[in-house]
Every structure is written in C-alpha cells, then in structure tokens.
C-alpha cells in the first residue's frame, strides 16, 4: 500500500488559508464567485466536503486561485505559466462561441509551439501568456491563427482604458468560453465588444460590475492583450 502524507490539506483547509491570505470573508468570496451566499461557509463548517464542475471554477474565482489548487493537484494557489527561462507559454485559444466543460482543466487546450518571441520587457515573464485566435470574432484586430501576447489582469499595472482588448472567461452552467473583447465603460457598466465584421459577432456583453454577471453568465476578465503577432514560418 502506498504511503500517505501525515497531513493532507482538505478543501476546508485550502479555503480557510486562501480567505486568510486575501483578507476576505466567506460571504464576500461567494458573492464574487456568483455562488449562493452560504456556499463557502458550508465548506468551512464541514457541510460541504467537495466541489466539482462549474462550481469549482466559480469557487476558484472567488478565492483568486486555480481550480487545480482546490483539488490538491498543485501546491501554489496560482501556477506561473512559464515553459522555461524567458519563454512565454501559449495557454489555449481565444474562440467566441466555443464552450468546453469548465470542470475539466485543459480540455480546450491544443498543443501549440512555444512563442518564438521574447517576453515584453515591461512585464515579468511569469505575468505573460499567449493565446491563439480562433474564428472571426476579433478579425478587425487579429485574424484566425494569429497570436495574442497578453498580461494577466491581476499583474497588469495600468488601469483599463476604453478600447483596450481583454481576455474574458464566460461561465454558463458547467461550460466555459474564452475569448477576447474590447473593453468600454458606459454609465458605470463594463461593455465587452467583439471587434469583427462578421454579422454573428456584433453585440456587446453588458457586465454588472457588482455581480460580474452578463446575460445570466458569470464573467471574468483575466488578461489584457498587449499586441498581436504572426508565428514565423519554420526554417527548413
């Protein structure tokens, strides 16, 4: 029989630790996550011992961590997305209209070659990631197959300005969509606009900044686009 650690951190332990680090109470975390008011508190009092599917992804948002941290698959709250020294990782596709199971980490990730371009010198390498554009929802700015160099939103030191392009996660039940939108503020609400000439992609998401919901979906801005580039043709 395999040896077991003397102490394995339970979901309750991890939630308590993260709340303490964030100086956030369980009801604040539940509100940010778009969960029922007592959801996080139920974990703390032992009423709820495990979380799966979309609730796991939502809880991770409320606790500002990766879902894999909450299920014991990684030691740090947030994984630094670095392939190697000075190399920016490609973490997946920005693809409007493509929904994946949010409870299965990595199911929407295709194997892409690492970026051939060095990190943006304004930001630490661990604060950067690339995404590959899929489809036409951003084709006025970036074509299908081009890459977006991005900074994680929480490590982006500047305030968002109108027409900045952001990477957005949208949760609907157990499904998640990742895409890129133009950010605009209108009358105290955030508007996330496609930048496309495709008739399918012309309407914005209007986000209630208090609840982080739009059209019934939970919205999370997790990156800011720095620039777009084409992958060079391989040398033969």
Low-confidence ranges of the chain (pLDDT < 70): 1-8, 79-85, 102-111, 232-236
- Same domain flag for 142 and 53: no
Residue 152 lies in a domain: yes
Residue 4 lies in a domain: no
- Say which residue the tokens 């303490």 belong to: 20
The whole-angstrom separation of Cα 116 and Cα 83 is 12
Report residue 24 as tokens: 């956030």
Treating both helix axes as pointing N-terminal to C-terminal, what angle do 11-22 and 26-33 enclose, rounded to 10 degrees? 90
Contacts for 33 with CB less than 8 Å, ≥ 6 apart: 39, 40, 58, 59, 60, 61, 62, 63, 218
Burial-class residue 202 by CB neighbours within 10 Å (0-12, 13-18, 19+): exposed
At 82 the pLDDT is 45
The whole-angstrom separation of Cα 40 and Cα 22 is 14
Q: What are phi and psi of 124, to 5 degrees?
A: -60, 150
- Same domain flag for 42 and 148: no
Residue 156 lies in a domain: yes
At 180 the pLDDT is 97
Q: What are phi and psi of 49, to 5 degrees?
A: -105, -15
| Residue 29, domain CATH | 1.10.260.40
| Closest C-alpha among 180, 194, 184, 179 to residue 160 | 184
The whole-angstrom separation of Cα 47 and Cα 153 is 33
Domain range for 40: 11-70
Residue 59 lies in a domain: yes
- Same domain flag for 91 and 154: yes
- Same domain flag for 100 and 60: no
- Same domain flag for 163 and 56: no
At 232 the pLDDT is 67
CA 113 to chain CA centroid, Å, is 21
- Same domain flag for 48 and 86: no
Contacts for 40 with CB less than 8 Å, ≥ 6 apart: 15, 19, 26, 27, 29, 30, 33, 59, 62
At 68 the pLDDT is 81
- Same domain flag for 94 and 171: yes
Looking at the 3D structure of the chain, how many domains does it have? 2
The whole-angstrom separation of Cα 9 and Cα 27 is 22
The whole-angstrom separation of Cα 65 and Cα 162 is 27
Burial per residue of 109-145, b for 16 or more beta-carbon CB atoms within 10 angstroms, e otherwise: eeebeebeeebbeebebbbbbbbbbbbbbbbebbeee
Residue 3 lies in a domain: no
- Same domain flag for 206 and 141: yes
At 111 the pLDDT is 64
């Amino acid at each position: 029989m395999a040896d077991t650690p003397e102490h394995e951190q339970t979901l309750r332990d991890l939630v308590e630790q993260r709340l303490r680090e964030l100086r956030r109470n369980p009801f604040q975390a539940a509100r940010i996550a778009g969960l029922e008011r007592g959801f996080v508190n139920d974990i703390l009092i032992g009423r709820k011992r495990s979380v799966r599917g979309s609730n796991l992804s939502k809880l991770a948002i409320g606790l500002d961590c990766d879902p894999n941290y909450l299920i014991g698959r990684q030691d740090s709250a947030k994984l630094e997305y670095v392939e190697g020294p000075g190399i920016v990782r490609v973490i997946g596709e920005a693809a409007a209209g493509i929904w994946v199971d949010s409870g299965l980490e990595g199911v929407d990730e295709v194997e892409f070659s690492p970026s051939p371009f060095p990190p943006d010198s304004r930001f630490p390498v661990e604060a950067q990631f690339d995404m590959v554009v899929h489809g036409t929802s951003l084709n006025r700015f970036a074509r299908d197959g081009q890459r977006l160099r991005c900074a994680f939103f929480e490590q982006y030191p500047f305030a968002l300005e109108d027409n900045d392009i952001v990477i957005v996660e949208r949760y609907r039940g157990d499904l998640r969509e990742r895409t890129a939108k133009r950010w605009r503020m209108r009358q105290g609400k955030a508007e996330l606009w496609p930048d496309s000439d495709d008739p399918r992609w012309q309407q914005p998401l209007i986000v209630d900044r208090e609840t982080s919901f739009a059209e019934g979906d939970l919205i999370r801005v997790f990156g800011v686009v720095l620039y777009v580039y084409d992958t060079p043709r391989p040398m033969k």
